[in-house]
Amino acid sequence: MNILILGYGKMGKIISELAESRGHTIAAKINIDNREKLLTLDPSKIDVAIEFSQPEAAIENIKWALERGIPIVSGTTGWISKKPEINRLTLEKNGAFFYASNFSIGVNIFFKVNELLAKLMNETKGYQVSLEEIHHTEKKDAPSGTAITLAQGILKNYKSLKEWHLVGEGEENSQSLAITAKRIDPAPGTHIVKYSSPIDDIEITHTAHSRQGFALGAVLVAEWIPGKKGVLSMDDFLLF
């Protein structure tokens, strides 16, 4: 396949190397310094775009691909309040847009374990749930997209909670899930969900050892998406 890389930072570089090792061709590598190159690209020669940029660039990158009929796979976080707009454009253009807050297969299994645990704990009294995420200092958004996905899974199943807040910023109350965000190098990503009571604690943790798992997931999705239509997610890919 011919793959367009939108966002050529650390993740973009790993994705590019991994895609080439799997026999794919990189049509172009776009970042903030050469964005004008998009004007000269032939969309008919691009099979799929993989987008890992910055929150402020993601929406324009995704629109660029959708408006040219290019399936796009995005893992940029921090812009999701605008996702309904992208969803509408995807349907209007009869395109294919795949978003995941985390492309790691292990993390997506962790999401499901998190939801199951929240369902079980919803029937159990006396526990208080909290969430912590740790990332490298270059990560701009907080909480992480993965933490927000975990929070959504908890809120959907743990009925006493109605919202989440970032510790130090949001309003703390008994109906709000506290998320602590830490930025410590060189951590690529750790997420901890903890249920605490005076008697005991129940804790589940996912720790990423490198960015390779995220990159491989993105490339696998890029290989899968040609021919697909609509707004897609890891649930569609993994068939959970």
Mind telling me the catalytic residues? 135, 139
Q: Which residues pair with 190 in a beta bridge?
A: 134, 207
Task: List all residues 6 or more positions away from 153 whose beta carbon is below 8 Å from its beta carbon.
Answer: 111, 114, 115, 118
Whose structure tokens read 């309904």?
A: 84
DSSP 8-state class, residue 44? G
- Residue 132: CA count within 13 A, CB half-sphere: 12
Is the CB of residue 181 less than 8 Å from the CB of residue 143?
Answer: yes
Helix (H, G, I), strand (E, B) or coil at 94: coil
